[in-house]
Chains A and B, each alone.
Chain A
Amino acid sequence: MFEVNPGLIIWTMITFGVLVLILGKFAWKPILKALDEREEKIRSAIEQADKARAEAAQLLKQNEKNMAKAEVEYQKMMREARAMADKMKEDIVTKARLQAEQELKRANEEIQRNLEAAKHQLRSEVADLAVKAAEKILDETLDAQKHKKIVDGFLNQLPKN
């Protein structure tokens, strides 16, 4: 049991040597290569994921910044729009008031003019009526022309009202 067989030592070494050659070339090399490849793949995948995450975070930050900027701009625009609207409103109201006033004035003038005309007409008609009435009363043919002159003169002496 304890004797050392030199032949067995040599066989062991030969077998081991052959094994190292065969396995080294056909087993360990492809397996270790595949393991390295897989490690590289995983590493690059993780790196890519990290990069994508960083990019996404940056994008988010950018978005937030843009949103904030947009908000500020929106506020500014709103303010401007409101100011413009206020101004426009004021303008329109002012213009409308002015126009209304003008319209009112014109209407008043028209009324005045009409009133004047009506008064004038009334006055002449009253004169004619008076003449006719006098003609009837006096039953006397007077020179209509002359008569009218007298009446007009009388009427003019009357206080204007």
Chain B
Amino acid sequence: MLTILEKAAADTSKALADTAAVASHGAGEHGEKFEFSHLLDHIKDGREVEIPFGHFELPHIAPVNIGGMVIDLSPTKHVFFLALSALLLVVVALYAASRYKKSLVPSGLANAFESLVLFIRDEVAIPNMGKGGVRYVPYLLTTFFFILMMNVIGLVPFGATPTGNIAVTAGLAIIAFFMIQISAIRAQGFGHYLAHLTGGVHWLLWPIMVPIEILGLFTKPFALCIRLFANMTGGHIVILSLIGLIFLFRSFVVAPVSVLFALGINMLELFVAFLQAYVFTMLTSLFMGLGMQSGHEEHAHSESH
């Protein structure tokens, strides 16, 4: 599926480039061909990190062999911004936490931070998972703030969005997958967890039911992974396309319109950055809650199937 999408994207960019070439040719000005794919470099991963007035190259490390798989662990642009957002988050969170040593009533940044912490705990974790979910609040908080930080860092000039890379969202989704399974096993025991995989149907139907249930375990995190990636990439592509229009038409007349629209999309992206961090966290806690509670309502569950 990914290769199809890649092909489609390549086709689109080729078509756009052709249009640009035709447009520039028609205008009869400089014969230079506009490469739309240059704009897409912005959302692509790479070895270079852009800084004002230049860029620097990231070091290359030799690939390592993990369990028979040769994996290149060299840092890329997205690894750099991943680490940067993690570092920023640590600084902000530790600062907010230090404010509580002085007084139980926070102010300023700590107050804003607290409102989000309270929101995740009281509106996301506890309603979805019940009182037993309190122990998973640190995980959910880390997920929320880490994703939020990565989403926002891509809106800063020269920044890149790590969550716009499917490998990063896949990494987050794999962790979410394990958390969902661990919380379910912890809440209802391994026996009940396995029993739940049969869907509570007659044993003759197990050959059908068990693969479906197992598939269901994977589709949830997979959806999380694709949703976050697509949302974060989509906004960037829209902005780049709007900016690209200026170069495509080679006209300053288009610029105000493009910039205005791009500004609007940028604001929308800021909202989406928060929204998607919330959606990822909310759905993770919802899936965890479903796994944790299904043991208590086994009977009702089996009837509904």
Chain A residues with CB under 8 Å of chain B are 1-13, 15-20, 22-24, 26-32, 34-35, 37-38, 41
Contact = CB atoms under 8 A, between A and B. Distances in A.
A3 B6 contact: yes
Given A23-B141, A37-B104, A5 B117 contact: no
25 contacts: A1-B44, A2-B9, A3-B2, A5-B72, A5-B167, A7-B72, A7-B76, A8-B78, A8-B171, A9-B174, A11-B75, A11-B79, A13-B171, A15-B82, A16-B146, A19-B90, A20-B138, A23-B142, A26-B93, A27-B93, A29-B138, A30-B100, A31-B113, A31-B114, A37-B104
B97 A27 contact: yes
B124 to A, nearest CB: 14
A37 B90 CA distance: 23
Contacts of B172: 12, 16
A100 B223 CA distance: 121
Contact of A23 (B45, B89, B104, B166): B89
Interface of B: 2-3, 5-6, 9, 40, 43-45, 66, 69, 71-76, 78-79, 82-83, 86, 89-90, 93-94, 96-97, 100-101, 104-105, 113-114, 117-118, 121, 137-139, 141-143, 145-146, 162, 165-168, 170-172, 174-175, 233
Contacts of A8: 45, 76, 78-79, 82, 165, 167-168, 171
Given A31-B114, A32-B137, 9 more contacts: A5-B45, A7-B167, A12-B82, A15-B82, A15-B83, A16-B142, A20-B138, A28-B117, A35-B114
Nearest to B37: A1
A42 to B, nearest CB: 10
A23 B93 contact: yes
B171 A10 contact: yes
Given A12-B82, A12-B168, A22-B90, A4 B142 contact: no
B166 A4 contact: yes
Of the listed residues A19, A22, A24, A29, the one surrounded by the most CB atoms of chain B closer than 10 A to its CB is: A19
B116 to A, nearest CB: 11
A68 B40 CA distance: 89
Contacts of B93: 23, 26-28, 31
Contacts of B113: 31
B82 to A, nearest CB: 5
Nearest to B66: A10
Contacts of A41: 104
A23 B78 CA distance: 21
A71 to B, nearest CB: 49
Contact of B86 (A10, A19, A29): A19
A3 B89 CA distance: 28
Nearest to B40: A1
Given A24-B142, A31-B100, A16 B118 contact: no
Given A18-B86, A20-B139, A11 B73 contact: yes
B303 to A, nearest CB: 38
A16 B141 CA distance: 12
B170 A30 contact: no
B94 to A, nearest CB: 6
Of the listed residues A29, A31, A37, A38, the one surrounded by the most CB atoms of chain B closer than 10 A to its CB is: A31
Contacts of B45: 5, 8
